[in-house]
Amino acid sequence: MLSTKLSKYSIILASNSPRRQELIKSLDIPFTIKTKEVEEIYPQELHQTEITDFLANLKATPFKKELKENELLITSDTIVWINNKALGKPKNYDEAFQMLKKLSNTTHEVITSICITNKLFQKTVNDTTIVSFRELLDDEIDYYIKTYKPFDKAGAYGIQEWIGKIGITKIEGSYFNVMGFPIHKLYKELSKL
């Protein structure tokens, strides 16, 4: 459906995330993957959607000068928000363990922003999903980290993986947003073009 509407555009996804690539593929639109290194640092006074909006926009910055008029760039960022703090991707086993201990037996927000950039415009949208975990045992956390190595995931977990299946008791909002891409919002924005 969308592919006809977007036929005049070349779509570029600036993400190495297999989940984001899989989700955009499900829209049945052709796209290419191009990535550039960006240091994901944001001003400390930012909160929640301000952080993900800032970072999704930041990821588009190195592409801006070279974008052609018929190209649409899609960048994205996800954080886990708990106790007024953002959890990004863990750097190692210990960080992942601490993050999952923090999420155990609590409710948190998963926030993702998508930035659509063209030579003539830039639009950023975001989505928030509320996720609740049951109490996670230390050996469950240990097994999950050692088996699934969630070092490329905000909050050190993937909802679609083992820990999500055995630990998540409730979600309010988009499941795909927790995977790192509120695909319904992307579809809506691309449909408007």
Six-digit token string for 27: 């829209």
Sign of the CA dihedral with 137 first, then 139, 168, and 13 last: positive
User: Which residue in the block uniquely carries the two structure tokens 């993957």?
Assistant: 33
The catalytic position among 77, 138, 142, 152 is: 77
Total count of residues recorded for the chain: 193
For residues 6, 127, 150 and 106, what is the CA-based torsion angle, rounded to 10 degrees? -160
Decide if 77 is catalytic. yes
Question: Across-strand partners of 10?
Answer: 71
Q: Which residues are catalytic?
A: 77
